[in-house]
């Protein structure tokens, strides 16, 4: 097991290097000039030249590339090309909001999706299953930007239960601000997790070892939640891992809809300002999340299924 974990962690290194390289060159191919974006279209050519000089944009591409890689590996992303604040400071401001939003949404997805999915599988074709089907249909077909706006209209404008925009200050206020964005992301994820759990559990409930458990006199709820669900969770975990990556981009949409500070908002403003350093840092952090989620998914699967680590 320890060897498996170590191997998986070592595999992360080339992935991260590749992502860094892609991010760097993708940005350099992108049309637009950060100097022009920062100083305006009618700035004097000398001023633009001086600006480019100061930021190192006149250096050969490979020099820029290696200094970027070096920075990224030491987790120092330099200064914003636009307003000279430290990118690390910007990240420190934005990241917690995105992480809290993502984790809360995931928690909603798991806590609602898995038990609900298990119950729809057990009462297959019953009333609850029918309700689940409708819930899944809604969850799957509502895009986040639309669902978010819908929630704002109903719960903020009409009912005035939750604040509309921003992230709030202090714990209670922040939690209050978090509810609608987290539900926007969480409901969609719950629908996905529910359907995945349902189909996976239905498949497992047909297996011989479930009959063996019943034949031992194991109470039915144990049969389902101990013997069957643990096996059913293996594909659910993998699916959830893949889905979390979709949710990462979902956070960008939701942050825009709710005008929340966060990684998404930071990235969007960075792109429109051609702020290479900010966008680079944002993308690297995103890529880091992706790699972490993948690693975590694999480790979780290995923890659930003893057959995996040996492969």
| Interface residue list for other proteins (CB under 8 A) | 207-209, 211-220, 227, 230-231, 304-307, 310
Comparing CA positions, the residue from 176, 178, 185, 187 lying closest to residue 253 is 185
For residue 293, the minimal CB distance to other proteins (Å) is 23
For residue 213, the minimal CB distance to other proteins (Å) is 7
CA angle, corner 255, sides to 166 and 177, nearest 5? 40
Give the C-alpha separation, 156 to 169, whole Å.
18
Cβ closer to other proteins: 218 or 290?
A: 218
For residue 18, the minimal CB distance to other proteins (Å) is 34
For residue 1, the minimal CB distance to other proteins (Å) is 13
Cβ closer to other proteins: 189 or 223?
A: 223
Phi and psi dihedrals of 305, rounded to 5? -110, 105
Give the C-alpha separation, 27 to 68, whole Å.
12
For residue 222, the minimal CB distance to other proteins (Å) is 9
Cβ closer to other proteins: 74 or 125?
A: 125
Comparing CA positions, the residue from 143, 142, 124 lying closest to residue 133 is 124
Cβ closer to other proteins: 119 or 302?
A: 302
Cβ closer to other proteins: 128 or 234?
A: 234
Comparing CA positions, the residue from 268, 277, 271, 275 lying closest to residue 35 is 275
Residues contacting 287, CB < 8 A, separation 6+: 16, 19, 20, 23
């Amino acid at each position: 097991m320890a060897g498996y974990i170590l191997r998986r962690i070592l595999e992360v290194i080339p992935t991260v290097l590749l992502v860094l390289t892609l991010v760097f060159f993708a940005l350099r191919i992108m049309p637009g000039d950060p100097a022009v974006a920062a100083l305006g279209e009618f700035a004097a050519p000398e001023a633009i030249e001086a600006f480019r000089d100061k930021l190192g944009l006149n250096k050969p591409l490979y020099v820029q590339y290696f200094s970027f890689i070096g920075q990224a590996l030491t987790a120092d992303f330099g200064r914003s090309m636009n307003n000279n604040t430290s990118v690390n400071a910007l990240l420190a401001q934005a990241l917690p909001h995105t992480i809290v939003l993502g984790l809360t949404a995931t928690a909603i997805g798991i806590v609602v999706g898995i038990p609900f999915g298990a119950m729809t599988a057990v009462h297959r074709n019953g009333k609850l299953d029918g309700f689940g089907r409708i819930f899944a249909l809604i969850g799957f077909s509502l895009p986040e930007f639309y669902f978010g706006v819908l929630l704002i209209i109903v719960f903020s404008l009409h009912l005035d239960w939750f604040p509309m925009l921003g992230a709030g200050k202090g714990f209670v206020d922040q939690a209050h601000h978090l509810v609608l964005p987290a539900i926007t992301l969480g409901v969609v994820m719950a629908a996905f997790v529910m359907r995945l759990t349902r189909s996976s559990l239905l498949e497992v409930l047909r297996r011989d070892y479930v009959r063996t458990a019943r034949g031992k006199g194991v109470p039915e709820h144990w049969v389902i939640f101990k013997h069957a669900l643990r096996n059913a969770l293996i594909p659910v975990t993998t699916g959830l891992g893949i889905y979390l990556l979709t949710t990462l981009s979902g956070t960008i949409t939701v942050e825009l809809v709710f005008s929340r500070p966060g990684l998404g908002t930071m990235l969007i403003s960075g792109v429109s300002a051609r702020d290479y350093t900010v966008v680079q840092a944002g993308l690297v952090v995103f890529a880091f999340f992706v790699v972490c989620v993948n690693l975590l998914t694999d480790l979780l699967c290995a923890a659930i299924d003893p057959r995996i680590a040996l492969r």
